[in-house]
Amino acid sequence: MTNVSISCRDLSLRFPVYGVDAKSLKKHLAKIAVGGKLGSHHGSTEVTAISGLNLELKAGDRLGLIGHNGSGKTTLLRALSGAYEPDEGSIEVNGHIAALLDLSLGIDPTATGFDNIRLRGRIAGLTAKQVDERLDEIAEFSGLGPFLAMPVKTYSAGMQARLAFAAATAVEADVLLMDEWIAVGDADFQKLAHRRLLKLVERAGILVLASHDVELLRLYCNKVMRMEGGVASPVTDIKKLDELMAA
């Protein structure tokens, strides 16, 4: 697909904060009853996660997102994946989106490895047939062999990570969204995982990778954007990363 693109215009995203208190119906009713008084605090219960973000990406762009914790990187990735709706502005994405934000998505510890691969594939939008076609390849890559017929709860943490990684990366994507470069398992598997991710990135038209690791971003990205308090810097060339960080 050559016309892969991401376009965000004046994107703003706000989180209403529903505290433990606010979630109770009693408080809500009390709020209605006392009218404006408590209502005046209403404005403070929203956190602005992203404000006025503009972003244009086309095929071949490998964008690194850098910024402190809570600067809005993950929120932006979730918005790009379609999970969060913008409050203002727009997001337009052309191409199949694959979001590798949380490897454990949809993993059920009581189900077998095979069942989890199927479930994960279905959530990612594959049909039952497509999942079955890929099952062998995923199974082989995971290296878990006969363990795949056992419940995931019997796996070690490393084995679980292998399974999750193998299942999550068995997708075809034009737009790949990643929260941190996921390197999992023992040294051998990390090498394999690394190669598989690189292939996935090569196939994808666009990569958006959020990371704190400057060296990692230099390695995989050709563009970089710094986020701070929900405000994004202009997209710059990765060569100017040092200047961007100093700014």
Partner 1 sequence: MDTATHMLRTGRRGTLFEAQMALRDLRTSVERIDLARSLAWHDVVSRYRGSILGPLWITLSMGLMILGIGVLWGGLFRVPVHEFVPLVAVGIVFFGFVTTTINEGCDTFVQAAGMLSQTALPMFTFVWRTVLRNLINLGHHVVIVGAVLVWAGLWAGANYPAAALGFIFLVINVAWISMLVAIISARFRDIPQAVASVTQAAAIMTPVYWPPDRIPEKYRWILDFNPFYHLLQAVRAPLIGKAVEPHSYLVLALMALIGWGLVFSLFANTRRRIVHYL
Q: Which of residues 137-196 bind partner 1 (CB under 8 A)?
A: 151, 171, 174
**Residue count, binding to partner 1 (CB under 8 A):** 50
Greatest Cα-to-Cα distance within the chain, rounded to the nearest angstrom: 64
Token code pair at residue 115:
């069942």
State which of residues 78, 183, 233, 238 lies at the interface with partner 1 (CB under 8 A): 78
Between 98 and 221, CB nearer to partner 1 = 98
State which of residues 108, 137, 186, 237 lies at the interface with partner 1 (CB under 8 A): 108
Q: Which of residues 14-73 bind partner 1 (CB under 8 A)?
A: 15-16, 18, 23-26, 28
Token code pair at residue 149:
């017929």
Q: Which of 231, 239, 235, 243 is nearest to 71 (CA)?
A: 231
Nearest distance, CB of residue 202 and partner 1, angstroms: 19
Nearest distance, CB of residue 37 and partner 1, angstroms: 21
State which of residues 1, 34, 149, 198 lies at the interface with partner 1 (CB under 8 A): 1
Nearest distance, CB of residue 236 and partner 1, angstroms: 26
Between 17 and 245, CB nearer to partner 1 = 17
State which of residues 57, 76, 97, 148 lies at the interface with partner 1 (CB under 8 A): 97
Name the burial class of residue 156, with classes exposed (0-12), middle (13-18) and buried (19+) by CB atoms within 10 angstroms of its CB: exposed
Nearest distance, CB of residue 57 and partner 1, angstroms: 14
State which of residues 31, 48, 52, 111 lies at the interface with partner 1 (CB under 8 A): 111
Nearest distance, CB of residue 148 and partner 1, angstroms: 16
Nearest distance, CB of residue 201 and partner 1, angstroms: 16
Between 184 and 214, CB nearer to partner 1 = 184
Footprint of partner 1 (CB under 8 A): 1, 12, 15-16, 18, 23-26, 28, 78-79, 81-99, 101-102, 105-106, 108, 110-111, 115, 118-119, 122-125, 127-128, 151, 171, 174
